[in-house]
Amino acid sequence: MMTDAEFLARFIPFSSLRYSTEAFIDYRIPGCAPKKNYALIGPGVSQNPNQPVSLREKHGFQVGGVAMPPGKTNPPHMHFTAEVFICTRSHWDLHWGFNPDPLKATIGPGDIASLPTWIYRGFQNVGDQEGFMFTALGRDDTGGILWGPQTLEAAREQGVHLTEDYQIVDEQLGQRWDEATMRRLQPMTPQEIADLRRWSPAEMAQRVVRHADLRWSPRALLGAALPGGGAELAPVIGLGITEDRDHLAPVANAHGFSIEWLRIPAGGQVPAHRLDCQQVLTVYRGSLQIQVSNTPPGPMEYRFSATEIVATGGPDHWDSYAMPAQAWRRLSNPGDTETEVLLMTPGDGRKRIEWAPAVVQAAAAAGHAIDADGYLAPKRYTDRSQR
């Protein structure tokens, strides 16, 4: 059971975010700074012990963000768990390969790219304004990152060193590097890097989900067909929460979390439901009214006494809410334009929605039900099946 204050404390308005410009060793490398590193859910892979973190509660995945001016570059590094880029502003080139020249894929607002693990990657803002991307990282323990040899050398030329236990020593701040007593982080050898799997541009293109190519389903949620509903889902990564049996995500390999887009028409809603796991909601555009409660609603229009939060999104801010497990919630669009929300849910398996009893009853009266496999079906068929 959570109090109203505890529910409200999980709201992460974009205006509340704080960043570090010294999260990684590249902050003095020419062409790489300034870079703003944000941590919304968990500390991510920041190497700065003073990195501001909005919510440290473990979710099974982590959510961060990065903002950079036009032309600035994040140099080559490698991750051991999933790294997903969610572009909200400007255009970005994602680089990988570096053998010797990098390959690249360009993403723009609304596009989502999943970079494979155990591959060196970098990125550059190629737009004409400060860019912003949310990042989703797999697992509570990401294993950190491994910098490429050229990145470590470029930082060392600026007097910034990285120790074997990932402590940053900055000679420009008056700190002293002692070759006799300090152990420098050793990067992969050129041969070890050459032995890594190579990803072609065609293969990487399969891991970029364009906003323009999303496959929306009006049958993804039991409550969508009810009066005042109308919400649709579009899968991006993993199995997610969809109740459409024909809905498959373009990126299907295990990440430790799923990502889906939710859109709600003006005046529409996703009626009361809950999940047995946490879920992070980020508003990309429009307004989202979130009602969250410890108890389900009564039968009157599926409304209940609950803590209320209004989150908004775009084009320069994107509010987030960290929904706790087992909390009843109703999501509605109070505005006069369509609302789009990014849903990030932990786990590689399907997540089953529990709808409030009043919603199930209303759906049954309208001829809709959820079958034994957890998918939307005509009630007349589920009623006549053998029990």
Q: What is the CATH number of the domain that holds 162?
A: 2.60.120.10
DSSP 124-179: EE-SSS-EEEEEEEESS----EEE-HHHHHHHHHTTEEEBTT--EEEGGGT----T
pLDDT of amino acid 292: 95
- Residue 295, in any domain of the structure: yes
pLDDT of amino acid 43: 95
Examine the pLDDT at 188 and tell me if it is beyond 60.
Answer: yes
Structure confidence by residue, pLDDT tens digits, 234-268:
999 999 999 999 999 999 999 999 999 999 999 99
pLDDT of amino acid 266: 98
Task: List alpha helices for the chain, DSSP H.
Answer: 4-8, 149-157, 190-194, 201-205, 357-365, 379-384
Residue pair 143/80 in contact (Cβ under 8 Å)? The answer is: yes
pLDDT of amino acid 306: 81
Number of domains comprising the chain: 2
Categorize the per-residue pLDDT at 156 as very low, low, confident or very high, splitting at 50, 70 and 90.
Answer: very high
How much is the average pLDDT of 152-161?
96
How far apart CA 320 and CA 327 sit, in angstroms, is 16
Query: Position 21: which residue type?
Result: T
- Residue 278, in any domain of the structure: yes
- Residue 232, in any domain of the structure: yes
Examine the pLDDT at 300 and tell me if it is beyond 60.
Answer: no
Write down the mean pLDDT value for the chain.
95
Examine the pLDDT at 302 and tell me if it is beyond 70.
Answer: no
Do residues 330 and 256 share a domain? yes
pLDDT of amino acid 99: 76
Do residues 144 and 244 share a domain? no
- Residue 2, in any domain of the structure: no
- Residue 6, in any domain of the structure: no
Choose the final residue of a domain: 178, 209, 240: 209
In the chain, the percentage of residues whose pLDDT exceeds 70 is 97
pTM of the entire predicted model: 0.95
Residue in 221, 202, 226, 296 with CA at minimum distance from that of residue 261: 221
Helices (H) and strands (E) in the chain, counts: 6, 26
pLDDT of amino acid 320: 98
Residue pair 214/234 in contact (Cβ under 8 Å)? The answer is: yes
Do residues 199 and 271 share a domain? no
Do residues 59 and 169 share a domain? yes
Do residues 293 and 161 share a domain? no
Categorize the per-residue pLDDT at 303 as very low, low, confident or very high, splitting at 50, 70 and 90.
Answer: low
- Residue 323, in any domain of the structure: yes
Do residues 121 and 199 share a domain? yes
Structure confidence by residue, pLDDT tens digits, 55-65:
999 999 999 99
Choose the final residue of a domain: 209, 226, 261: 209
Do residues 154 and 246 share a domain? no
Do residues 249 and 354 share a domain? yes
Do residues 96 and 234 share a domain? no
Do residues 204 and 218 share a domain? no
Q: Domain span at residue 19?
A: 15-209
How much is the average pLDDT of 343-365?
96
Which DSSP state fits 212? G
Do residues 225 and 294 share a domain? yes
How much is the average pLDDT of 109-131?
97
pLDDT of amino acid 78: 96
- Residue 313, in any domain of the structure: yes
- Residue 10, in any domain of the structure: no
pLDDT of amino acid 331: 96
Residue in 344, 346, 362, 304 with CA at minimum distance from that of residue 328: 304
Categorize the per-residue pLDDT at 4 as very low, low, confident or very high, splitting at 50, 70 and 90.
Answer: very high
Choose the final residue of a domain: 191, 209, 227: 209
pLDDT of amino acid 166: 87
Do residues 248 and 262 share a domain? yes
Structure confidence by residue, pLDDT tens digits, 71-107:
999 999 999 999 999 999 999 999 998 877 899 999 9
How much is the average pLDDT of 339-360?
96
The residues, ordered by sequence, that sit 6+ positions from 24 with a Cβ below 8 Å of its Cβ are 35, 37, 46, 47, 48, 77
Structure confidence by residue, pLDDT tens digits, 19-48:
999 999 999 999 999 999 999 999 999 999
Query: Position 92: which residue type?
Result: W
How much is the average pLDDT of 305-325?
94
